[in-house]
Amino acid sequence: MRPVIYLDILLAVNFILDFFLLLAAGKLCGGLATKARVVAAAGVASLFSMVLLLPPLPTIIQVLIKFAGSSIPVLIGFQRASPRQTLKRIFWFFSFNLLLAGAVFFWCITLSPTGIERNNLAVYFNLSPITLILSVLAVYLVFCLIDLVFGRPAKVKQVSLSLKLRGSWIQVPAMLDTGMSLKDPLTGTPCLLLSYPQVRDQLTDVLRQELDAYFSGNTPGYHSGGQTLRVIPCRTAAGEELLPAYRCEECRIAYNGREMTLQKVAAAFARYPLQGQPDGGLVGPELVEPIL
């Protein structure tokens, strides 16, 4: 006789599992959005567990549904990023889901526990509300233990930037990134990194037009207002890219209550918002070394 499956328990259990799998993928790849979006992503992911109620499907269809159930929540729960970084996040969340399904399948084959149903790469646990709450607490404690063992990330060091480009001043909150080493290949001087979507509204119309054209694939040799668009090679975990850049007419950096003015510093622009950061820019240690 086919066992009774309670839809509320099916969705609740998978929501909890998907929520923590999203957190795990976020720890590996970074870029998680707000907690509300992560909760929404877990809710969407849990809806895909209803495939358990369908007749057994071909393996390829099961995998495709699982991949869709991993891709859509990642797009909801993570900030916008490059295609390569997005695929990396989808890969890890998809892999975690497959590992979980494989672990449950192994458990069922080895120990033959009761109250567990599996079908189409989805699982169902017939849990009481108290067991469900205790399971959530157990998972939360595991994450707390991992956080305690590996430590919390260092406190973000804020830097205030004031840039003069094409005669217009731009105010940008930035983060001091000790691992950033972006340099102008022509002069060898360190560069600033600005997120174009986060500073676009402060740029002049001419700059916006040039950068919009660059990011849309049109890269003519701009030269206006005494400033030439140049390209700076950048290598990150997401891959290599040529970033458009301009030399600032003036750059003021404020950090730890101290301020300094730099001349002829190049500002490079990134296509996407900075991952996991509300700030609009990144500054390397070489630029702030005089006031550290």
Backbone torsions φ then ψ of 196, nearest 5 degrees? -60, -45
pLDDT in tens, 16-36: 888 888 887 887 777 788 889
pLDDT at 109 over 80: no
Q: What is the predicted pLDDT for the residue at 225?
A: 45
- Please, which pLDDT band fits residue 188 given cuts at 50, 70 and 90? confident
Residue 163 CA to residue 247 CA, distance in Å, equals 10
pLDDT at 111 over 70: no
pLDDT in tens, 138-180: 666 766 676 666 555 555 567 888 888 888 888 888 888 777 7
Q: What is the predicted pLDDT for the residue at 18?
A: 85
Which of 290, 273, 252 is closest to 30 using CA atoms? 273
Fold of 158-291: Cathepsin D, subunit A; domain 1 (2.40.70)
The structural domains of the chain, with segments of one domain joined by +, span 7-150, 158-291
The token pair at 114 is 């009761």
Is pLDDT larger for residue 149 or for residue 277? 149
The token pair at 29 is 């790849």
The packing angle between helices 35-47 and 7-29, to 10°, is 130
Which of 6, 7, 39 is closest to 22 using CA atoms? 39
pLDDT in tens, 207-260: 888 888 888 876 555 444 445 778 888 876 556 788 898 888 888 888 877 888
pLDDT in tens, 47-98: 888 887 888 888 888 888 888 888 999 999 988 877 878 888 888 888 877 7
